[in-house]
Structure 1
């Protein structure tokens, strides 16, 4: 969510707080909520199957639960099978094999047992929500991306994709990108920074970074500053190939320049809640291109191509930090830049009192153990 009005000098930890802004609490098996959210609303785990040991793949807000109840009623009226298994009675705790009691949960019904069926079920309900304008601020016609995101049983596991029906996979279905926040599922993206090293006359080291301004027509965060290249990972595409694609589409960077120069440098992860309360736990795979000395830097100069970027600017490190502290960067881009400054030795335990809080928050696990009850 945007920083408070009048914000002028955010600390690095406050910049992290803008993006990693969820704190899950479970006070009892049947009580799960976000302690930082201004509304004390119950969050319900979204399981893959009816089995009590099923993986939990998302978190559902009360208004989504209401719509899933309505969807079951609609299917009954149409004499169709219900899609959703709704175990919502807080007095009817289920018991795991280890004797542990668990509370309310939603899953697909037993017949929705393949990735193809799950994908079709989600396509049907999300397109109806789009066409009715029910969640217009999330997946309405102006927000709809027409891009499918993969969902995995183990969000920290392998990014695979089906080739034949029935094969055992971590991949469990795919769904429209814009609707992912409605189901609180974990999504994945790529972020890349192009920078050049600078040494001034006094021998002080710094960097200059290529920074884009997001187009005012973007459905999310229009006009904010971004990382040099960034985007989601579509279903069936690897992180690296997603980035190569985005580099050309967003920044006119040729395939061979990217493949010859880029370096994978890790990942960040955070649990973001939008200003409207929607849950967006995300993993971003992080890449760098450090412009080598003695090479024509113009081959690394990004230029707008697909209309998603207004312009690119080669910013000094001082200017980047100034804009970060002013809240001008898209929140997850601020996280990526802080990660960059840590890796390059500009943010250290000696000059940043919140260093360990920042370093650990950059690589969170979404309080995932609490999802599982």
Structure 2
């Protein structure tokens, strides 16, 4: 029998990047101290860092610049990799860095450049384990200059200048560039109190379809999905509720509570980097309500089935590692918020709290 996980182990499955910086380089000490290079929005060191690049990606960007030269096109990437070209970085150290060239100076230009790049990589089979035809999502994700800043967009602001929005790119390719991505996660649950005063919790838990390109067959949160570029955060949840779980929009709008967020830095088994923020929501099934209106049902094929899972079953499935890694974190967050996991019954309570709301060690980037 496999070892039962502790709750801190469940956190470790998802929040598994641990950064260290010395005088020149940034390393992930949890992944053979692999060197990671910060990706800047422009050639100015005062401009924010938007991602982290692995050595494999750095080598490919060198080839991309050579390809541009051969085709008589301007280079897309400013590569400051040799110590003689290092500049003072945002965090005060000197080290390697990469950025867009200064001619790529608007969201439209960056979006167009990334579209050409990612689609060509898809069509040539480069990085097929990440953005190949079988992994391609045909969905754009927003990239922000400040990953903790406002979710604005040219379509609603009516302009491109002065926004936090930097560009948008194919969802599946985001992990190649180590950029922060965003999603929504909803828990639909009910709580009843027995005559003896005991609280009983039951949560709707889906099993992901075996055909999903990521984490097939694992358990998920009731509804979860990424936030497409240009779509308001809550509206993306409303969309996902119907598409994944057949929950009507009027039910979602009337009964959903925004309850916070979780954030973590995940490295996939393939080595690619996924710092993510998930905005969390609850629907508590009202006592005496028509339960059928709150009962999720598969619709778009992304979910195989839904099960109303008791508190004890929930704990067992978590400890067996049956949840998609980030969904396990959302369940733990739910248990903490509802008072089922406390400092008295969980020895790693403070470690878990801090890890659920990490900042990706962003100051080190």
TM > 0.5 fold call: yes
User: Residue 145 of structure 1 aligns with which residue?
Assistant: 137
> For the residues of structure 1 that align with 2:183 and 2:262, how far apart are their CA atoms?
10
**Distance in structure 2 (CA, Å) of the matches to 1:90 and 1:358:** 39
> What does residue 236 of structure 2 align with?
242
Q: Which whole-Å CA distance do the structure 2 matches of 1:50 and 1:299 have between them?
A: 53
Match of 1:23 among 18, 22, 40: 18
State the Cα distance separating 1:40 from its structure 2 match: 2.8
Alpha-carbon displacement from aligned partner over 1:118-168 (angstroms, at most 9, x marks no partner): 011111111111111111111000000000000000000000001445421
Residue in 2 that maps onto 1:341: 335
Q: For 1:88, which of 74, 81, 92 is the aligned residue?
A: 81
The 5 A counterparts of 1:130-141 are 130-141=122-133
Q: Structure 1 CA distance, aligned partners of 2:38 and 2:12?
A: 24
Deviation, structure 1 residue 54: 1.3
Give the Cα separation in 2 of the matches to 1:115 and 1:147. Answer: 17
CA RMSD in angstroms, aligned pairs only: 1.3
Contact 1:8 / 1:327 at 8 angstroms: preserved in 2? no
Q: TM-score, normalised by structure 1?
A: 0.95
CA apart distance, 1:277? 0.8
| Partner in structure 1 of residue 113 of structure 2 | 121
Q: Report if aligned partners of 2:48, 2:90 keep a CA contact under 8 Å in 1.
A: no
Q: In the TM superposition, what is the alpha-carbon distance from 1:96 to its structure 2 partner?
A: 6.3
The answer to whether the 8 A contact 2:35-2:54 is kept is yes
Paired residue for 2:149? 157
- What is the alpha-carbon distance in structure 2 between the residues aligned to residue 172 and residue 143 of structure 1? 24
SS at match of 1:237: coil
| CA-CA distance at 1:201 after TM superposition | 4.7
Give the 5 Å matches for 1:224-373. Answer: 224-371=218-365
Task: Provide, for residues 6-38 of structure 1, a one-character-per-residue CA deviation record: whole Å limited to 9, x for no partner.
Answer: 53411111101100001000022x21110111x
Report SS of the residue matched to 1:341: helix
Q: What is the aligned counterpart of 2:62 among 50, 58, 69?
A: 69
Q: Deviations along 1:292-319, whole A, 9 cap, x unmatched?
A: 1111212100000000000000111111
Q: Secondary structure at the match of 1:269?
A: strand
1:190-205 alignment to 2 at 5 Å?
190-205=184-199
* 1:9 equivalent in structure 2: 4
In 1, Cα distance between the equivalents of 2:189 and 2:234? 19
- The superposition leaves residues 248-277 of structure 1 with CA deviations (integer Å, 9 ceiling, x where unpaired) of 000000110110110000000000001111
Q: Distance in 1 between matches of 2:349 and 2:303?
A: 32
2 CA distance for matches of 1:9 and 1:366? 27
Alpha-carbon distance in structure 1 between the residues aligned to 2:159 and 2:287: 50
The residue matched to 1:185 in structure 2 has which SS?
A: coil
SS in 1 for 2:33: coil
CA contact (8 A) 2:80 2:86 kept: no
Task: Name which of structure 1's ranges 193-202 and 111-120 shifts more when overlaid on structure 2.
Answer: 193-202
Contact 1:208–1:316 (CA under 8 A) maintained in structure 2: yes
Q: Structure 1 unaligned runs (5+)?
A: 1-5
User: Aligned pairs, how many?
Assistant: 363
1:95-106 equivalences under 5 Å are: 95=88, 100-106=92-98
Q: Deviations over 1:203-242 (max 9, x none)?
A: 3112100000000010000000000000000000111000
Cα distance, 1:200 vs. partner? 3.4
Runs in 1 of length 4+ with deviation above 4 angstroms? none
Distance 2:292 2:202 in 1: 14
